[in-house]
Structure formats: structure tokens, C-alpha cells
Amino acid sequence: MTPLHWRSAAEIAAQVAAREVSAVEVTRAHLDRIAALDRRLGCYLLVDGDGALAQAAAVDRAIAAGDSPGLLAGVPVGLKDLLVTEGVATTAGSKILAGFIPPYDGTAVARLRQAGAVILGKLNMDEFAMGSSTENSAFGPVRNPWDESRVPGGSSGGSAAAVAAGLCAVALGTDTGGSIRQPAALSGVVGLKPTYGRVSRHGVIAFASSLDQVGPLARTVEDCALTLEAIAGHDPKDATSIDAPVPRYRDACTAAAADLSGLRVGVPEEFFAAGLDPEIERLVRAAIAKLADLGARVVPASLPNSEHSLATYYLVATAEASSNLARYDGVRYGLRVRDPGDDLNTMYQKSRAAGFGTEVKRRIMLGTYALRAGYYDAYYLRAQKVRALIKRDFDRAFATCDVIATPTSPIPAFRLGDRTEDPLAMYLADIYTISCNLAGLPGLSVPCGFTTSNTLPTGLQLLGPPLGESTVLRVAAAYQRATDWHTRHPPGAERSTP
Ligand code: GLN
């Protein structure tokens, strides 16, 4: 029998609903595993053991009383610490939020609870979701379970590594420029960034508001579908949330949906240019050939403005971040740094200086510069125009294909410390993921094999048109059915099973 920590969310929910296993047992197994493994990996910033066991007991009681079990009954979930949780400390990976205990649950979190999910705790991340390796966390890095000398990707690195190591069945992450898909690829799990507005941003600490989106990471495509079904949908508390019905995403993952006959997969050669690791190119091209075996028609696609996406993103994202982070003025939240003789202004300045890490300060400076009077037209406005061109490329491409297939990351997981001194090298880790955010599209990364040299996982990225989540999930689920990458577990996590 599969140990509890390697069971999928779909399996756990069905077994808890049928009372074959209790939600409390599943929760205990995960808490024990976190206690045994996470000192090494560093995925969780906070484990809410008592809260989780209480939620699990409530799920078991409701089922015993004959209530209809939720979609995620008893499923152990971890949350990126950017999602605010009622009564549970939320840090955004930053010291500036020290002592912040939110008085409410964000919408996605509240919907998870309604669906019967059990929230185990809060997951490590790059400070304010700025980064691609989780090394920008104020609380220390996360290690990649496949090779503990390497990063898990970022900024949702705690989410990806926790799912990969069996420290939760599903995690929520956020994706502003790739922070769900890139760590999913580097940690060997599935990650889905929904269409902008598909999931409410209410109760998600803001980074770049026109790009941020919440989404699931899990070991199977079906689990991502189930989780999206639970958290998606209109929310009056988020003015950018889309008012469109939520389909049964899980129907996209059935055996009947796995025949891809007639489906057109577009391949943009711009995503296979210099900088792409040759081994990753080979694995991604093999995955695309597999889609053809499943009936899909592979067609060329063209996204000529892709080369501008990185520059565009780093203007838009830093500008919006500088505005969003202005609220952390050292007055309302966080550390108090006051030396004898300091007046209040000096204290607030010192508190900000000590509360933010280097990368966050760099972004606030860049963003403030780009928005300065006299520079706005040259930078932010120009970036918005290029963003419109990038969006138009996708509109044109989707006239002749149903999904676009690319690598998720140009490189496999890199060594801890390798890129921390060179911000531009770190930014390049997102070269393939950010255009999707600029265009507001759904994007998913599904494991598509391991590098032979050092057995590190990598991912195939699938992008769809706005609200095309079902199509993206269908292609990924069909691919997962035809391959067995998702049945492998990190050797270290396998050995240390408690
Ligand atoms: N790595 C990108 C950045 O540093 C994307 C981060 C994200 O998606 N949150 O901005």
C-alpha cells in the first residue's frame, strides 16, 4: 500500500470520504514526517500542528455525521507564507512583517478550508516573492529534495520542495513571473498558474498587482485540477477577479480526455534558442513528441516579442512593487530598531533598512526610479506598450494552436549560492515563464524527465489562452498518464520515511 505521505490528494479525499482512513491519521502522518525531515529541508516557516489536527478532527466528525465531504476532505495542504491566515503569523519571508498575525483568511485559504482541506502550516519563500531560488528568504534557504546542495527554485520554493518531499499533498503558491512553474520544474512536481483573475488575490500580500496570481502545486495534474476547482471563482473582494463559472477541471484529467486527436500544440522556436541547456532541450522535445504520439498535431508558433519579456517584466514588476511596498514604512509593522537618542523618524528609517533584504531594497529603488516624474513615459509606459505587443503575439499564436509547449526553465536546479551574487543571472531563470504573466494567461509545468548527468528533474511548460485551464490540464494529464516521472520520489525523502 502506498504510504500516506505519497498518496495523492484525489486518493486521500476519496479514502477519507469513504472512512477508509481518517483525516486525523493522514494529518498525523504528515506532521511526523515534517518533524523528521524538515529540519534539513527548511520548507516550513511555521507548522500549525494543533490547528491542523483540530481541522482534521472536524472533517472526520462531519463525515461521520453524514455531511457531504468536500472536494479536498482531509487533504494536507501547505500554504506559501504570502497568503494571510487568520490567527496564524504571516511573514511574506520578510522581517518587516515580524509580529503580524492576520485577523482573517484570504479567499483562497477560506475556500480550501470549506473544501475540507487541512492546513498544516506556512511555507518558506523568497522575501515578498522576489527571487527564483528561495535564497532571498529572511529565514534561510530551502534545499531541493532531489539534491540538497541545490535550490528548489523560487519564489515558491518551500511549496515545491514540500510537495516533492511528501511534506504535504498539495501546496498553494503564487506566480508573478514564474514562481509556481519554475520551482515546480526544478523540484519535479506539477505547478499551475491560472489565468489572471481566475483565483482571488484577496488576502494575498501584494508584490506586482497586475501580474500576481495564486495557484496549486501537487505531485499529479489531477490534484492541481481538484485544488483549482476548490479555490477558483469570482470574489467580490477582488475587483480584478473574473466573473465566469468554474468548470469541473478534474474532468479534463480522465482517461477519456487523454486522447489528444485533433489538438494543436504550438512550438515557438524563440523558446529553444541560446541559453537553453541541451539536455533540457532534448527532454522537452521528447515530451512534445510524446504529445504527438497521443494524437496531437505539433505546429510551429511564433512569439517574436519574447526577447523583450524579461526587460518588460522587470520594469512593470519593480514599479508595482515599489508602490505596493510603500506601506511598510516602519511605522505600522515589523521590527523596531531604535538606538539611544534617535528621534522617531530615524527609528522608522532604521527599521525599514533592517526589515528589508537586499533584493527587496534593490527592487524598490528600481521601481521608484522607473516611476519618477519625467521617467514614467520612458520606462513604465513604454513597458506597458511592449506588454501589449507580447499579449498580441499570444492572441495571434492561439488563432492557430490550442496550447503552446515550451521548456519551463532553461536550466536544472542550480547550487545554493551560485547565483546570489549576480541578480541578472537569477532573473534569467524566469526567461520562459514571465511572458505568460505579462499576457495574463494560464500556464502549467509538468515533470518531463531527469537530466542524465545528475538526475535532476525538469518540466514541460504548457500555456493556454485566457481561461484555457481545462485544455492545459487535459494535455498535461494525458502526458502524465503516458509517462511515469511522477511516480519517482527524491531518494533522500524516500530513505528517511518515518
Ligand atoms: N523570479 C521572478 C522575480 O523575482 C518571479 C517571482 C514571482 O513569480 N513571484 O520577480
Tens of pLDDT along 78-114?
A: 999 999 999 999 999 999 998 899 999 999 999 999 9
Domain coordinates in residue numbering, the chain: 8-307+386-487, 308-385
Index of the ligand 1 atom closest to the CA of residue 208: 9
Per-residue model confidence (pLDDT) at position 66: 97
Q: Is 177 in the pocket of ligand 1 (CB under 6 A)?
A: yes
420 alpha carbon – ligand 1 mean position (Å): 14
Are 137 and 93 contacting, i.e. CB atoms less than 8 angstroms apart? yes
Q: Which atom of ligand 1 is nearest to the CA of 130?
A: 4
Cα(278) to centroid(ligand 1), Å: 24
pLDDT in tens, 449-466: 999 876 999 999 999 999
State if residue 91 touches ligand 1 by the CB under 6 angstroms criterion: no
In tens, the pLDDT along 175-202 reads 999 999 999 999 999 999 999 999 999 9
Percent of the chain at pLDDT above 70? 99
Taking 60 as the threshold, does the pLDDT of residue 275 lie above it? yes
Atom index in ligand 1 nearest the CA of residue 175 equals 8
pTM: 0.97
Confidence of residue 338 (pLDDT cuts 50, 70, 90): confident
| Residue 299 host element (H or E) | strand 297-301
Place of cell 514541460: 460
Q: How far apart are CA 122 and CA 115, in angstroms?
A: 19
Please, which residues have CB within 8 angstroms of residue 254's CB and are 6 or more apart in sequence? 477
Tell which residue, 1, 4, 7, 100, has the closest CA to residue 45.
100
pLDDT of 333 > 80? The answer is no
Q: How far is the CA of 11 from the centre of ligand 1 (A)?
A: 32
**In the CATH hierarchy, which top-level class contains the domain 8-307+386-487?**
alpha beta
Quote the pLDDT of residue 491: 86
Q: What is the dihedral of CA 458, 463, 467, 471, to 10 degrees?
A: -80
The beta strands (E) that lie in 335-456 are given as 403-407, 443-450
Residues 426, 282: Cα–Cα separation, whole Å: 23
Q: Best mutation site among 126, 134, 438, 445 for ligand 1, i.e. most ligand atoms within 8 A of its Cβ? A: 126
**At 491, phi and psi to the nearest 5?**
-55, -40
Residue-level pLDDT at 274: 86
- 436 CA distance to ligand 1 middle (Å): 12
Tens digit of each residue's pLDDT (9 = 90 or more) over 284-299: 999 999 999 999 999 9
User: Could you tell which of 94, 132, 209 is best to mutate to test the pocket of ligand 1, judged by most ligand atoms within 8 Å of the CB?
Assistant: 132
How many angstroms separate the CA atoms of 157 and 134, rounded? 5
Residues forming the active site? 80, 155, 179
The yes-or-no verdict on residue 267 having pLDDT over 60 is yes
The 10s digit of each residue's pLDDT in 214-227 is 999 999 999 999 99
| Residue 331 confidence (pLDDT) | 80
Distance CA 377, CA 384 (A): 10
d(CA 349, CA 69): 51
Q: Among 176, 121, 122, which residue's Cα sits nearest to residue 154?
A: 176
Q: At residue 479, does pLDDT exceed 80?
A: yes
Mean pLDDT of 137-158: 98
CA dihedral 350, 204, 416, 274 (to 10 degrees): -120
d(CA 329, CA 333): 8
Q: What is the mean pLDDT of the chain?
A: 96
Is the minimum distance from the CB of 438 to ligand 1 under 6 angstroms? no
Nearest residue (CA) to ligand 1, atom 10: 130
- C-beta 132 within 6 A of ligand 1: yes
| pLDDT at residue number 495 | 62
How many CA atoms lie within 13 Å of 130's alpha carbon, on the beta-carbon side?
A: 28
**Has residue 158 got a pLDDT over 80?**
yes
Give the helix, strand, coil percentages of the chain, each rounded to 5.
Answer: 45, 15, 40
Q: Give the mean pLDDT of 5-18.
A: 98
* Residue 191 CB-density burial (10 A; 0-12 exposed, 13-18 middle, 19+ buried): buried
> Residue 349's pLDDT band (boundaries 50, 70, 90)?
confident
Q: What is the mean pLDDT of residues 144-167?
A: 98
Closest CA to 487 of 451, 462, 452, 450: 450
For residue 496, the model assigns a pLDDT of 53
Nearest to 317 by CA among 245, 380, 264, 266: 380
**How many angstroms from the chain centroid is the CA of residue 414?**
18
Residue at grid coordinates 475587483 = 239
CA distances (Å), origin 428, targets 153, 314, 385, 419? 12, 11, 22, 10
- Ligand 1 atom at shortest distance from the alpha carbon of 426: 1
- Determine the residue of 430, 434, 438 to mutate for testing ligand 1's pocket, defined as the one with the most ligand atoms within 8 A of the Cβ atom: 430
Partners of residue 83 on adjacent β-strands: 204
Q: What SS3 state is found at 488? A: coil
| Mean pLDDT within 5-27 | 98
Q: Is the CB of 157 under 6 A from ligand 1?
A: no
Atom of ligand 1 nearest to the CA of 430: 1
3-class secondary structure, 11: helix
Q: Average of pLDDT values for 325-344?
A: 85
What was the pLDDT predicted at 493? 80
Helix or strand holding residue 423 (H, E): helix 423-427
Q: Which long-range contacts (CB under 8 A, 24 or more apart) does 371-379 make?
A: 371/319, 371/322, 371/323, 379/315, 379/319
Helix, strand, or coil (residue 264): strand
Report pLDDT digits (tens) over 111-137.
999 999 999 999 999 999 999 999 999
Pocket test for ligand 1, best of 128, 155, 360 (most atoms within 8 A of CB): 155
**Does 418 have pLDDT greater than 70?**
yes
Cβ partners under 8 Å of residue 12, min gap 6: 4, 21, 26, 73, 74, 75, 76, 169
What is the pLDDT at residue 259? 97
Q: Kindly report the backbone phi and psi dihedral angles of residue 92, in degrees, each rounded to the nearest multiple of 5, phi listed first.
A: 55, 25
Q: What is the pLDDT of residue 321?
A: 98
The predicted pLDDT at position 497 comes to 52
pLDDT band at 370 (very low <50, low <70, confident <90, very high): very high
Share of the chain above pLDDT 90, in %: 90
